[in-house]
Chain A
Amino acid sequence: MITTFQAKNYGCLVDVTAQLTPIHAFIGPNDSGKSTLLHGMRTLVQLAGEAFELSAEGQWQPFEPFLRDPLSGMNGPPRSGPEQRLACVVEGAAYVFKVGSADWNEAFGAISVDGPYVATALRPFDRPSWVLRSAVPESPEHEAVIRQLAAARLVRFDPDALRAPSGLIPETSSVGFLDDRGRGLGGVYFAIRNRNDDAFATIVKDVRKHFPTVKGLRVKAVTSGEVALEAELTSGVHVGANRMSEGLLYYLAFAALRHIDPVSLLLVEEPENGLHPARIAEVVRVLRAIVEDTGTQVILATHSPLVVNELRPEEVSVVTRDPVTGTKVTRIHETPDFAERAKIYALGELWIAYANGDDERPLLSGTEP
């Protein structure tokens, strides 16, 4: 699990550190950097995964990462410019990916590391190629660290993508969506039904509970190679995915997350979209169950106080952005006067009561709005 995430010169993240919990939500104004934090985490985990992937021959693979050159805007090794860094602390160690010319010893910055760091890759500007530092795990401890960064999945479900028919997932392939927006939902449900009858039955039972007009679910072939979800209503009418309500589609997508191949990090943008307020609590319960069942860490970016109401104070951080210093992350329970405010407001209400949609100053400085 990532306990600390740090980014420097990554998108709008000039120099930011975030403390995380097994399930954690970023809240804050538009354009404050919440999504960039999620994308930074995904990039870091992807880099870690790619760096230490085993080849077919059982050898650890080196990697050749590229970041966008901050000066030219082109993909490829930066020729100059500020140091870029993505780093995290996991249990027992830190993992740092760095691009720049600064001395390696400066790489950890504000992250304090008690255990061994695993690896970093850097490319000094005065060198023609990437230099890998400990690119291959050197010990079982290192491998244990890398397993915590095994894979990341980012979802920002979109109803059109969820409605689209999709191909079947081969028996031996991993089960997952085809993209961030949830394309492949039909194929995912086909795989869940074929591989885990109980899981499919549980989902149908929950759907019937939360959507009383729905009697059952099935995966229907729409072409010779494509399937789509179909709901059978209590009235006997069959409703294809193309005509399903957005709320039901979103719910089915979140419910599926619990039964597809687990990842170490699940990043969810705006889980509240399209959901009735009472269903939002159910989705957060699903996400919490994913944490508890699979050990997957779940990080959310949300604008919904109703999502925040379902979380504990230590699980929420406020993201703000200053034009000069960039994005800043503050844990909500560390804001001034929090204990007193939390006595009279539920967590999401507290946010709304003191938010101003700009710099969130009343919330962060303890002043009255």
Chain B
Amino acid sequence: MIRVIVAGEGSNELGGFWVEAEFRAEAPEPGVIEALLRQVRRDGWQVVDALRWTKLPKLQVGIGKKGEEFNVQRAFHHARKRGCDVLVFSRDRDGIKFAHREAEIERAIEALSAVGGGPAVAGAVAIERLEAWVLAIAGVRRSEDLRRPEDHLADIGAPAKDTAAMVALVENRGLAAIPEDARSFLKWLARAREAMGAQAAPGDEAG
């Protein structure tokens, strides 16, 4: 059984794993990341723990942009120490103002790959937010151009704060309708497949 640790912003990404371990249900409800991963590989793995970016301490004066790189390094460290095989994460870009996040996170992933060892890493920056990936699942084109993708979720039957509805949408739609302009999402999917040892099914995506 592949042990997976998930890192993300909050309840939409992490589902029932969003709350502290002491307060979690015995079988936490899946979040969007787990639901997406289930589309990549149906079984043979389980989420064993989760990390919230905001809970990873960054307490250095003037740390600024370095925080993103630290986030990935620290999540990787905790995943390894918890005996996980795969670290899966998404990080919202949150607008062009935070465009540096993508470069920082790519640099961190590259550095971890160069060192080798430890869990496989499947992560990417969601442009602008995870909700854009959910829209892409529903076949919405140019989802990355939307400043507030969450405002459009209701149109596809998944209100912004309704994690269960988003998970259900992922489960029902699968990966077949993802437009090819959903670059950040497709990058994440490719990494997730590699990390989970899964092959892309023909016609799965880039519809």
Chain A interface (Cβ < 8 Å from any Cβ of B): 277-278, 280-281, 305-306, 309, 337, 340-341, 344-346, 348-349, 352-353, 368
**B25 on interface, CB distance cutoff 8 Å:** no
| Alpha-carbon separation in the docked complex, A309 to B57 (Å) | 12
Query: How many cross-chain pairs have Cβ atoms below 8 Å apart between A and B?
Result: 36
B61 touches A278 (CB 8 A): yes
- Chain A neighbourhood of B62, CB < 8 A: 278
28 of the cross-chain contacts (CB-CB < 8 Å) are A277-B61, A278-B62, A305-B57, A306-B59, A306-B61, A309-B59, A309-B60, A337-B81, A340-B77, A341-B77, A344-B70, A344-B73, A344-B74, A344-B77, A345-B57, A346-B60, A348-B59, A349-B57, A349-B59, A349-B60, A352-B57, A352-B59, A353-B56, A353-B57, A353-B74, A368-B78, A368-B81, A368-B82
| Alpha-carbon separation in the docked complex, A276 to B207 (Å) | 53
Interface centre among A305, A306, A345 (most CB of B within 10 A): A345
Q: Give the B interface residue count (CB, 8 A).
A: 14
- Chain B neighbourhood of A309, CB < 8 A: 59-60
What is the distance, in angstroms, from B205's C-beta to the closest C-beta of chain A?
34
**B24 on interface, CB distance cutoff 8 Å:** no
| Alpha-carbon separation in the docked complex, A254 to B17 (Å) | 46
> Which of A278, A340, A344, A346 touches B59 (beta carbons < 8 Å)?
A346
- Chain B neighbourhood of A306, CB < 8 A: 59, 61
- Chain B neighbourhood of A340, CB < 8 A: 77
Among residues of B, the one whose C-beta sits closest to the C-beta of A366 is B81
Residues in B66-97 with C-beta less than 8 Å from chain A: 70, 73-74, 77-78, 81-82
Among residues of A, the one whose C-beta sits closest to the C-beta of B20 is A369
**B107 on interface, CB distance cutoff 8 Å:** no
- Chain B neighbourhood of A346, CB < 8 A: 59-60
Report the 5 A-B pairs with minimum CB-CB distance, sorted nearest first.
A352-B57, A349-B57, A344-B73, A305-B59, A277-B61
| Alpha-carbon separation in the docked complex, A281 to B62 (Å) | 12
| Alpha-carbon separation in the docked complex, A278 to B70 (Å) | 20
B61 touches A281 (CB 8 A): yes
**B58 on interface, CB distance cutoff 8 Å:** yes
What is the distance, in angstroms, from A308's C-beta to the closest C-beta of chain B?
9
What is the distance, in angstroms, from A174's C-beta to the closest C-beta of chain B?
36
- Chain A neighbourhood of B81, CB < 8 A: 337, 368
| Alpha-carbon separation in the docked complex, A368 to B73 (Å) | 15
- Chain A neighbourhood of B73, CB < 8 A: 344
- Chain B neighbourhood of A344, CB < 8 A: 70, 73-74, 77
| Alpha-carbon separation in the docked complex, A368 to B21 (Å) | 12
Residues in B38-63 with C-beta less than 8 Å from chain A: 56-62
Besides A341-B77, A348-B59, A349-B57, 4 more A-B contacts (Cβ < 8 Å) are A281-B61, A305-B57, A346-B59, A368-B81
Among residues of A, the one whose C-beta sits closest to the C-beta of B74 is A344
| Alpha-carbon separation in the docked complex, A306 to B57 (Å) | 12
What is the distance, in angstroms, from A88's C-beta to the closest C-beta of chain B?
33
| Alpha-carbon separation in the docked complex, A127 to B70 (Å) | 63
- Chain A neighbourhood of B60, CB < 8 A: 309, 346, 348-349
Among residues of B, the one whose C-beta sits closest to the C-beta of A281 is B61
| Alpha-carbon separation in the docked complex, A309 to B58 (Å) | 11
- Chain B neighbourhood of A353, CB < 8 A: 56-57, 74
Interface centre among A277, A305, A348, A368 (most CB of B within 10 A): A368
| Alpha-carbon separation in the docked complex, A352 to B60 (Å) | 12
| Alpha-carbon separation in the docked complex, A337 to B81 (Å) | 10
- Chain A neighbourhood of B78, CB < 8 A: 368
| Alpha-carbon separation in the docked complex, A43 to B76 (Å) | 47
- Chain A neighbourhood of B70, CB < 8 A: 344
Among residues of B, the one whose C-beta sits closest to the C-beta of A341 is B77
| Alpha-carbon separation in the docked complex, A15 to B73 (Å) | 39
| Alpha-carbon separation in the docked complex, A348 to B57 (Å) | 9
| Alpha-carbon separation in the docked complex, A348 to B74 (Å) | 14
Among residues of B, the one whose C-beta sits closest to the C-beta of A309 is B60
Among residues of A, the one whose C-beta sits closest to the C-beta of B60 is A346
| Alpha-carbon separation in the docked complex, A337 to B82 (Å) | 13
A349 touches B58 (CB 8 A): yes
| Alpha-carbon separation in the docked complex, A281 to B63 (Å) | 14
- Chain B neighbourhood of A368, CB < 8 A: 78, 81-82
Interface centre among B57, B74, B81 (most CB of A within 10 A): B57
- Chain B neighbourhood of A348, CB < 8 A: 59-60
- Chain B neighbourhood of A281, CB < 8 A: 61
| Alpha-carbon separation in the docked complex, A74 to B189 (Å) | 73
| Alpha-carbon separation in the docked complex, A176 to B59 (Å) | 34
- Chain B neighbourhood of A352, CB < 8 A: 57, 59
Q: A353-B56, A368-B82 are in contact. Are A345 and B61 (CB under 8 A)?
A: no
What is the distance, in angstroms, from A369's C-beta to the closest C-beta of chain B?
9
Among residues of A, the one whose C-beta sits closest to the C-beta of B82 is A368
Among residues of A, the one whose C-beta sits closest to the C-beta of B70 is A344
